[in-house]
Amino acid sequence: MAEPVPAGAAADVVVGDFAEIVRRHQSMVFSIALHFLADPPAAEELAQDVFMQLHAKLSTLKSPEHMVFWLRKVTSHRCIDRMRRHRIPQVSLEDLPESSVLEFSPGVQPADPFLARRLQQLVASLPGKARLLVILRYQEDLSAEDIAELLDMPAATVKSHLQRALAMLHDKVVRSMGEVRSEK
Amino acid sequence: MTRFEDELKNALRRQQPPQGFADRVLARAAEIGSRQVNRAWRDLWLKIFDQPLVPANLLRWATVTVVALALVVGGVHYRSVERERAQGEAAKQRLLLALRIAGSKLQLAKTRVDQINSGQVNSNKLHSDPTANQQKRE
């Protein structure tokens, strides 16, 4: 789902228009933070911090692809750091308040909004690392190898963690919504 | 990809951030930028006042040159003063000699004047005392 980056625009984008860079990548950065934290104000704060860091580092980034990689990496690390620093507890599905359900942006309505919201809640209830892997895999459409490179993990570990996270999610879906909706 | 994964992908679609997000980011960046400019100016001023105006090497050579010049000028001035003092001393000696000569000449003149004066007194005595003249004739 990564946004296409025009080839050959590296120098222009890196050197120049920071505003254009923010507008182009804001949904990616914000969504990683939002799906991880399940807290829109905290997600916006984190996304702003990522772009501030990018502003300071802009001259060191060599290409648009490098920039996207860097943004995903920094956002992921900041999510994990925030979780550790604020000791965000891993909440059970039953404990998640209804207010933590994320609102979909206009024009991004899923086929089944109820299921989508429930799945967002379920993802938010996963352990930190597993949550991040699921977000990078299904939001950013990254392969296990890409995620491994991004998080400095062996690809095999990423695959096994993803499988475990999916199984965990599947179980939760089955328990909360019934077999019918989660069937393959 | 399973249907479950499709649903998951659908649920985790990218969301747009709240309205004005980019503007808030740009405002923060501008604020940080202006702060950095201010800090750069402050650092520049501090550097200007902190560092010597001329390089240390140049300062060292300038000091050596000034000291050498001072020594040369001082030496020339000292020799000039010494010469003037010697000339003054010689002039003083000459003046003292001249005064001594003048003093001795004056003394001589005074003696002669005294002698002349004493001779005149004797002749006057002879003219005024007849017995003395008679005795002289005899």
8 A C-beta contact, residue A2 and residue A140: yes
Contact B22 A55 (CB under 8 A): no
> What one-character-per-residue DSSP string does A57-72 give?
HGGG--SHHHHHHHHH
Rounded to the nearest integer, the mean pLDDT of chain B is: 85
Segment B4-46, tens digit of pLDDT: 888 899 999 999 999 999 999 999 988 887 777 778 788 877 7
pLDDT in the model for residue B40: 79
What ipTM is given for this predicted complex? 0.75
Confidence of residue B3 (pLDDT cuts 50, 70, 90): confident
Q: Encoding tokens for residue B86?
A: 């010697």
- In this prediction the pTM is 0.60
Contact A52 B17 (CB under 8 A): no
- Say whether pLDDT at B92 is over 60: yes
Segment A132-164, tens digit of pLDDT: 999 999 999 999 999 999 999 999 999 999 999
Q: Which of A31, A121, A123 is most worth mutating to test chain B (most B CB atoms within 10 A of its CB)?
A: A31
Segment A20-71, tens digit of pLDDT: 999 999 999 999 999 999 999 999 999 999 999 999 888 888 889 999 999 9
In three-state secondary structure terms, B18 is coil
Q: Which residues numbered 44-63 in A keep a CB inside 8 Å of some CB on B?
A: 44, 47-48, 51-52, 55-56
The whole-angstrom separation of Cα B103 and Cα B107 is 6
